[in-house]
Amino acid sequence: MPAASPRPRPTLRDVAATAGVSKSLVSLALRGDPGVSESTRDRILAVAEQVGYRPSLSARTLKQGRSMLLGVVISSLENPYHTEIVASVEDAAEQVGLSVVLAHGSRDRGRLADRVQQLGDLGVDGLVVVSSWVPDEVLTAAARRLPVVMVGRTADPVAGVDSVTNDDEQGAALVVDHLVGRGYERIAHVTSSTRPAGLARRRGYEDAMRRAGLGGHVRVAAPDAVDGLLDDGYRAVFARNDVEACDVLDRALDRGLRVPDDVAVVGYDDTLLARRVRPALTTVQQQREVMGARAVALLTGRLGGRSDDVHEVLEPRLVVRASG
Amino acid sequence: MPAASPRPRPTLRDVAATAGVSKSLVSLALRGDPGVSESTRDRILAVAEQVGYRPSLSARTLKQGRSMLLGVVISSLENPYHTEIVASVEDAAEQVGLSVVLAHGSRDRGRLADRVQQLGDLGVDGLVVVSSWVPDEVLTAAARRLPVVMVGRTADPVAGVDSVTNDDEQGAALVVDHLVGRGYERIAHVTSSTRPAGLARRRGYEDAMRRAGLGGHVRVAAPDAVDGLLDDGYRAVFARNDVEACDVLDRALDRGLRVPDDVAVVGYDDTLLARRVRPALTTVQQQREVMGARAVALLTGRLGGRSDDVHEVLEPRLVVRASG
DNA sequence: CTGAAAGCGCTTACAG
DNA sequence: CTGAAAGCGCTTACAG
């Protein structure tokens, strides 16, 4: 069946002509300005509907200097932690009438930097960055033209960029203390990350072990080198995130070990994965809902004129499930 | 540290004034028009760089009538199949110089319809819809103002909308034939879906069972009602997608069954999940890379003037792993 | 209650 | 090789 090919969209001018009024009147009627009589408004709305009028956001953005759009950049769509943060940002954005446009960078620094630029060029009113892979200078440059808030850890504060993050050191300490409380002493840490959050969790692990008098048992390995830990009698493993905890889980189960009877495994992030996997994962929950809400609040604060940088740190919570 | 608060971005006019030339010359220089002398261009580029000039996409879109943006709408960020399709669309889009903006609808029909509208209002040059939840009338309406291609199955062809999908019936038949070849007769189907793709897979399963002379064993259950199947001696389960196959896997393992020795489990989609899970999932692979490329090709075809609807159907392939 | 006019930042013929 | 001018679709004072 032959389809109607897209024709030039009707504009305000078309609606005005059809309704026999001026463009400005249509514009006022469309957004419900009280200065337009009800009967006129109804007639104009009917015509707009009938001709299939839709406002051009680029025209509106150009004129108004704001788009009511909020850009969100994430490293990759594959990481459930990131996509779950996005959802919480969107919910918060919707509350204040902002729509979210999402872009991701497939874990590639250059592509991520491009996405940040693109969203800025597109005219979003603010940017939420959920990725530690965007170079600092790109963030700083972006912050010169629009409010930017970083969700998650950076190595150092980035000038002009607000942030909201969880206390990774404390999260790691929660895990260690929990395992120590259950009588474990040989507690190993598994990580493949050199990103700021990963490093902070590692630091938190090491510090907590020392505080517990277990400094001698501190041991860090890569996820694929976990066999050595098990051979050395480590019976509790804290992984830097849920994904790597699942890798450890698989490896342990492949070796015929029972979890948590033979080895306890703990993750970080409390992603859907943590609930899906068997046994379900003990993990650390960041306050995702709160993070999204705070990120949007920081953005609107900037839009409202604030010019000093704000860095919020939220407290993580331990979620105990079957794995350890 | 006090941050530079965002100031009005420099415009073409600012660059022109600083460089001491006209706006039009700057515009031409910036996009490398051969009519601008090299020395002039270099000087202008240097000034643009120095003042931090970035073009306004809304102004450009308004003027040119195209944005070089491609909108992608997905149901939800949680479904790995959908996000993996997005990646393939993006790769293909990048080839032809289009940038992707992504929106999702949290599985909510109303929200999805909003997103489709919003992307249209934003001025994207085409729309790829990776969700069967968008109402037909919304798709039709969208197709009146811009090219729309549906990736995945709809119940019936939607007027004005191109599509690319895999042959779900054939995919289901591949699974049944594979299991029959391994000697299974009591092969059940697990599905929770009333969406077109789910229904097609179910139909494919039933037809293939009949063709194999196993019509008497046809049995369909919900994922959470799989216990009945196992009790009734079904030792092979074909789930409508990888996610539900994992649910079945968990249930079987929880009952102490070994997979695939006691029960074979097969999924559909070949998502990352299929590789991650233990035992790794036998599943059906849609040609994701090809789907993204075809979707973009259909879009550019429309932009090039084609007006008849095109529906492409790709052949799925069986991927045999450990689970069945 | 309604209309004419200016202008957002760009691009693109059109003159020189 | 370069500049003045029009116009994309909107919104917003400003007059009436």
Q: Which of A83, A102, A305 sits opposite B103 (nearest CB)?
A: A102
* Domain-embedded: residue B269: yes
Q: A272 and A295, same structural domain?
A: no
Kindly state whether residues A279 and A200 are assigned to the same domain.
Answer: yes
Would you say residue B322 lies in a domain?
no
Mean pLDDT, residues B101-130 taken together: 92
Q: Is residue A61 part of a domain?
A: no
- CA(B87)–C1'(C11) in Å? 32
Residue-level pLDDT at B128 = 98
Q: What is the CA radius of gyration of chain B?
A: 26
The fraction of chain B above a pLDDT of 90, given in percent, is 78
Instruction: Give the model's pLDDT for residue B32.
Output: 82
d(CA A259, CA A277): 12
Total domains present in chain A: 3
Q: What is the interface size between A and B, counted as CB pairs within 8 Å?
A: 156
Other Cβ atoms within 10 Å of B149 Cβ, number = 28
Chain A contact set for B160 (CB, 8 A): 3-4
Token pair, residue B213, equals 């002379």
Q: Does B117 or A33 have the greater pLDDT score?
A: B117
Instruction: Enumerate residues 6+ apart whose C-beta is below 8 A from B181.
Output: none
Residue B6 lies in a domain: no
User: B250 contacts in A (CB within 8 Å)?
Assistant: 276, 278
Quote the percentage of chain A above a pLDDT of 70: 98
Neighbour count for residue A231 (Cβ, 10 Å): 9
Are A124 and A218 contained in the same domain?
no
How many Cα atoms are found within 13 Å in the side-chain-facing hemisphere of B313? 9
CATH number, domain of A104, equals 3.40.50.2300
Q: Percent of chain A scored above 90 by pLDDT? A: 78
Average pLDDT over residues A122-151: 95
The reply to whether A182 and A280 lie within a common domain is: yes
Mean pLDDT confidence for A234-249: 95
Residue A33 CB in 7 A reach of strand D: no
Say yes or no: A54 contacts chain B, CB-CB below 8 A: yes
Same domain, A151 and A293: yes
Written as six digits, the tokens of A20 are: 């026999």
Residue A6: inside a domain, yes or no? Answer: no
Predicted local confidence at residue B205, as pLDDT: 98
Question: Residue A177: helix, strand or coil by DSSP?
Answer: helix
Identify whether residues B159 and B295 lie together within a single domain. Answer: yes
Task: Give the pLDDT of residue B169.
Answer: 98
Band (pLDDT 50/70/90 cuts) for residue A140 is: very high
Note which residues in 149-188 of chain B have CB less than 8 A from chain A. 157, 159-161
Question: In strand C, which positions have an atom below 7 A from any protein CB?
Answer: 1-5, 7-13
B47: domain CATH number is: 1.10.260.40
Interface contact B258, partner A, CB < 8 A: no
The C-alpha torsion from B231 through B235 and B240 to B246, rounded to 10°, is 80
**Is A302's CB within 8 Å of B145's CB?**
no
B240 and B102 assigned to the same domain? no
pLDDT at A4 over 50: no
pLDDT band at B184 (very low <50, low <70, confident <90, very high): very high
B298/B156 same-domain check: yes
Which residue type sits at B170?
Q
Residue A3 has pLDDT above 60, yes or no: no
Q: Is B244 inside a domain boundary? A: yes
pLDDT for residue A270 is more than 90: yes
Claim to verify: residue B280 and residue B293 sit in the same structural domain: no
Query: What is the pLDDT at residue A276?
Result: 83
Q: Give domain status of residue B238, yes or no.
A: yes
Residues A149 and A174 in one domain: no
* Domain that includes residue A224, residue range: 168-285
Average pLDDT on A4-10 reads: 62
Mutation target among B54, B57, B150 for the A interface, most CBs of A within 10 A:
B57
Hey, what's the torsion of the CAs at A194, A322, B270, B81, to 10 degrees? Answer: -70
Which residue approaches C6 most closely, CA to C1'? A63
The verdict on residue B324 lying in a domain is no
For tokens 């490896």, the residue is A251
- The answer on A219 and A110 residing in a single domain is no
Question: Cα separation of A194 and A33, whole Å?
Answer: 55
pLDDT at B5 over 50: no
pLDDT at residue number B254: 84
Q: Does B279 sit behind a cis peptide bond, omega within 30 degrees of 0 on the bond before it?
A: yes
> B160 with B216, same domain?
no
